[in-house]
Amino acid sequence: MTTEKLTAGHNLTSLQTFLLREESKHPHATGAYTMVLSALSLASKFIAARCRRAGLEDVLGSMGAENVQGETQQKLDVIANEALIRALGSRPGVAVIASEEDDEPIILSQDVTGERPYVVLFDPLDGSSNLDVCGGIGTIFSILQHDRRAARVEDSALQPGVRQVGAGYVLYGPSTVLVLTTGTGVQMFVLDPAIGSFLLVDDDVRIPETNKMYSMNSANLGQCDQAYRDYVDWANGEGYTMRYVGTMVADVHRTMMKGGVFLYPPTKKAPKGKLRLMYEANPMAMLVEQAGGKAFSGTERTMDVIPQEVHQRVPVVLGSAGEVDHVLRFLAK
Ligand code: P6P
């Protein structure tokens, strides 16, 4: 029997293999970046395991407290947040951690010489309110290089999206999918629970140019600017279909795989938009652009937005280039 037959149907490139192969392309690499991504992978496997048993362990429901966003914290929000902080906090390359769940960034090193080169920002469990109904939820992360010139160490977390050196999300759905960019295209991995490894299934994810599909919470339409309402009227007239899960990771992943456009416009309730720039819009924008799509916040490219504070919110329009252009045409009027 040939080797090929022995391994037929099994992809044998793990995330670890992929990262070490990428690291080997950089002769001066210290391995710190690989260790950051390895920490994110470990924490997401831990979170996936807890999600899989959510109905069997006491991790459903709320903590009875609110986070800095004024949103009710789910038990698994706290568990996921702790897992990410502990995994990243034990890595020598991480200087600052910023989480949706924590008011202020966590400084792991006051050392301004910057031997700790990275800042990691994340939404530990995006869409966690869907957990109780077994809906798709996810983790979103963004990696910046530590800005040693920042006035305060924590200000290093306030860099525009164009300065990201990595971004990704983990979708905890029927399977656990990691979609990652380190700046040279987008790779997709699926967790094989039998061996506990993320295995490479696509080494060059490209978002389809067009698809007559938009994804937004249509219940908000009455609160949106006329331009968004005009776009939806136009799309409906053109025979577009609408899909919306209510978890950004799930809605963006569908958009990455099938094409279309995902929108969270400003509303009366959220006049700057609901989604957070630093650990939702920016990482998703890097992924979408690396896959050939576009990501805008109003008429400004999302990754050009200069952040003012770590939890700031922005409007989001992202997806297939052709579909985002249709929305921008209405916003420009
Ligand atoms: P709405 C989940 O709470 C979240 O932060 C994103 O994952 C999602 O895209 C959005 O909010 C859904 O908001 O107002 O449609 O429930």
Q: pLDDT tens for the chain, 333 residues: list them.
A: 666 666 666 668 999 999 999 999 999 988 999 999 999 999 999 999 999 988 787 767 677 777 777 777 778 999 999 999 999 998 889 999 999 999 999 998 765 555 789 999 999 999 988 888 989 999 999 999 999 888 888 899 999 999 999 999 999 999 999 999 999 999 999 999 999 999 999 999 999 999 999 999 999 999 999 999 999 999 999 999 999 999 999 999 999 999 999 999 999 999 999 999 999 999 999 999 999 999 999 999 999 999 999 999 999 999 999 999 999 999 998
Tell me which fold the domain 15-202 belongs to.
Fructose-1,6-Bisphosphatase; Chain A, domain 1 (3.30.540)
Length of the chain: 333
What's the 207 CA to ligand 1 centre distance in angstroms?
Answer: 22
Environment class of residue 308 by beta-carbon count within 10 Å: exposed (0-12), middle (13-18) or buried (19+)?
Answer: exposed
Q: Kindly state if the Cβ of 274 falls inside 6 Å of ligand 1.
A: yes
- Which amino acid belongs to residue 92? P
DSSP H or E run through 257: helix 248-258
Q: Kindly state if the Cβ of 130 falls inside 6 Å of ligand 1.
A: no
pLDDT, position 3? 66
Bridge partners, 144 (sequence order): 119, 164
For ligand 1, atom 9: residue with the closest CA: 248
Choose the residue to mutate in 247, 278, 318 for probing ligand 1, maximizing ligand atoms within 8 Å of C-beta.
247
What's the 245 CA to ligand 1 centre distance in angstroms?
Answer: 9
pLDDT, position 243? 98
What's the 22 CA to ligand 1 centre distance in angstroms?
Answer: 34
Q: Kindly state if the Cβ of 246 falls inside 6 Å of ligand 1.
A: yes
- For domain 213-331, the question of CATH label 3.40.190.80 is answered with yes
Which pTM does this prediction carry?
A: 0.94
Bridge partners, 192 (sequence order): 197
What's the 248 CA to ligand 1 centre distance in angstroms?
Answer: 6
Rounded CA-CA distance 333/329 in Å is 7
Q: Kindly state if the Cβ of 247 falls inside 6 Å of ligand 1.
A: yes
Residue 301: φ, ψ to 5° = -60, 130
Q: Kindly state if the Cβ of 126 falls inside 6 Å of ligand 1.
A: yes
DSSP letter string, 154-174: GGGG---GGGEEEEEEEEESS
Rounded CA-CA distance 111/117 in Å is 11
Residue 151: φ, ψ to 5° = -60, -45
pLDDT, position 61? 66
Residue 317: φ, ψ to 5° = -135, 110
Q: Where are the domains of the chain?
A: 15-202, 213-331
Q: Kindly state if the Cβ of 253 falls inside 6 Å of ligand 1.
A: no
